[in-house]
Amino acid sequence: MAKKKVDSKSLSQIKRRRRRTLTFIRMIRYGVNNFSRNAWLTIAATAVMTITLLIVFTTVVARDVLTNTVQAIQDQVEMTIYIDPKAEEPAVKEAARAAGELESVERVSIMTPDEARETFIQENKSDAGTLNSLNNSEANFPWRLRIKLVDINETSELQRFADTNEHLQTILSQDIPPSFAGPNRAAIHQIGDWVRFADRSGIIAGIIFVVISSLIIFNTIRMAIFNRREEIQMMKLIGAERSFIRGPFVVEAVMYGFIAAILATGLGIFGVYSAQEVLIGNGIAIAETVNWLIAYSPFVLIVMIAIGALIGIISSLLATRRYLKI
């Protein structure tokens, strides 16, 4: 007797699971049918969702590219402390050692007067007048401590070192002050401003288009509810569950996000890849970002689909909650 009760209970659970599975499949089928019923509304909703996701994609990529570009420029920027050309090499090496012990300093290299002279000649080899003046003079080039900082915007410790280190003061050049600023640092500050501007603009644009996309999907679902009001009323009368009535509309909205995510990801990666050579030619560090996008394109697509589906689900749930009164 007990065995029969157990078997009956297990059979009931199997039937319940099967019924839920069939209900889920029907919701998906009805949602797909709804998606294809009104082509113009579907195209409009998908197009706006695509633009929204493309803006999200562009914002993230632009942020990464600008960050890499700033880092690449920072790696090329070195601060310079000029040492008297008459200073002895051991004294210069001692100053370099002391500078290298600063927490803000990543590395220190020494450029000898002869190396400085050769560098100057190479940089001005197309200027015959400058080279003639150099050859006819007894210009002495100073020693140079070329210092790479961990953060080029943090020069206070290096400045204190240059101003207070007793050993350095005895050999420091009196003609050329230390170079803790220059066009490269100005460029970095400018690109940093671009990064902040791109962040803010991208966030604002993304929010605006997410709202617009949500409103269009909201209205699309509302029109679908209005067109099917008699069918929905009949489903209510025969006792259909709330989830079964709401489900097809959620599936429809998720499809908008799914298709839009595929389009936006494809367009975004293609656009970035196509612009790669031009941007690299203009000094923009985009190669690492492009390689990452191509290598992890499936992951990028999944994230975009998740974002699109989330927008669609929220919009459809709000629409069904307000207009289905369930």
Tens of pLDDT along 175-212?
778 876 555 566 656 666 776 776 677 678 778 877 87
- Going from N- to C-terminal start, the domains of the chain cover 27-72+187-323, 85-172
pLDDT of residue 125: 72
Q: Which residues pair with 148 in a beta bridge?
A: 107
Torsion-angle region of 185 (φ positive above 0: left; ψ -120 to 50: alpha; else: beta): alpha
pLDDT of residue 186: 65
Burial class (CB within 10 angstroms; exposed 0-12, middle 13-18, buried 19+) of 221: buried
Pairing of strands 105-111, 143-149: antiparallel
77-110 tens-digit pLDDT: 778 888 888 888 888 899 899 988 888 888 888 9
Radius of gyration of the chain (CA): 33
Q: What is the pTM of this model?
A: 0.68
Burial class (CB within 10 angstroms; exposed 0-12, middle 13-18, buried 19+) of 180: middle
Confidence band of 299 (pLDDT split at 50, 70, 90) = very high
The whole-angstrom separation of Cα 206 and Cα 71 is 26
The Cβ of residue 112 has, within 10 Å, a number of other Cβ atoms equal to 15
Q: Which residues pair with 144 in a beta bridge?
A: 82, 111
The whole-angstrom separation of Cα 230 and Cα 300 is 41
The whole-angstrom separation of Cα 31 and Cα 255 is 9
The whole-angstrom separation of Cα 50 and Cα 219 is 17
The Cβ of residue 155 has, within 10 Å, a number of other Cβ atoms equal to 18
Question: Which residue, 81, 79, 110, is CA-closest to 180?
Answer: 79
pLDDT of residue 147: 87
The H or E element containing residue 96 is: helix 89-100
The whole-angstrom separation of Cα 61 and Cα 220 is 31
Confidence band of 132 (pLDDT split at 50, 70, 90) = low
Question: Which residue, 292, 294, 288, 297, is CA-closest to 262?
Answer: 297
